[in-house]
Amino acid sequence: MDLKDIKAIIDLMRKNSLSEFELERQDFKIKLKRGVAEQVIPVEESFPAAYPAQLPPAGASGLSVVPGLAAAPSLAAPPVLEIKSPMIGTFYRAPSPDAADYVEIGSEVNPETVVCLIEAMKVMNEIKAEVKGIVTHILVENAKPVEFGQPLFRIRPN
> Is residue 139 at the binding interface for another protein, with CB under 8 A as the rule?
no
> Is residue 98 at the binding interface for another protein, with CB under 8 A as the rule?
yes
What SS3 state is found at 144? strand
> Is residue 124 at the binding interface for another protein, with CB under 8 A as the rule?
yes
> Is residue 97 at the binding interface for another protein, with CB under 8 A as the rule?
yes
- Sequence-ordered list of residues with C-beta below 8 angstroms from that of 39, at least 6 positions apart, any chain: 33
Of 55 and 70, the one with the shorter C-beta distance to another protein is 55
Of 60 and 72, the one with the shorter C-beta distance to another protein is 60
Q: How far is CA 43 from CA 4, 13, 16, 19, 33, in A?
A: 14, 16, 21, 16, 11
Q: Contact, 109 vs 132, CB < 8 A?
A: yes
Of 111 and 157, the one with the shorter C-beta distance to another protein is 111
> At 82, which helix (H) or strand (E)?
strand 81-84
Of 114 and 134, the one with the shorter C-beta distance to another protein is 114
- On the CB side of 52, CA atoms within 13 Å amount to 0
Of 37 and 99, the one with the shorter C-beta distance to another protein is 99
Question: Which residues, 77 to 96, sit near another protein by CB under 8 A?
Answer: 87-90, 92, 94-96
Among 12, 100, 144, 157, binds another protein (CB under 8 A): 144
| Residue closest to 31 by CA, chosen among 6, 11, 4 | 6
Task: State in angstroms the smallest separation of the CB of 149 from another protein.
Answer: 13
> Is residue 61 at the binding interface for another protein, with CB under 8 A as the rule?
no
**What span, in angstroms and rounded, lies between the C-alpha atoms of 10 and 16?**
10
- Which spans of this chain sit near another protein (rule: CB under 8 A)? 50-51, 53-60, 87-90, 92, 94-98, 119-126, 143-145
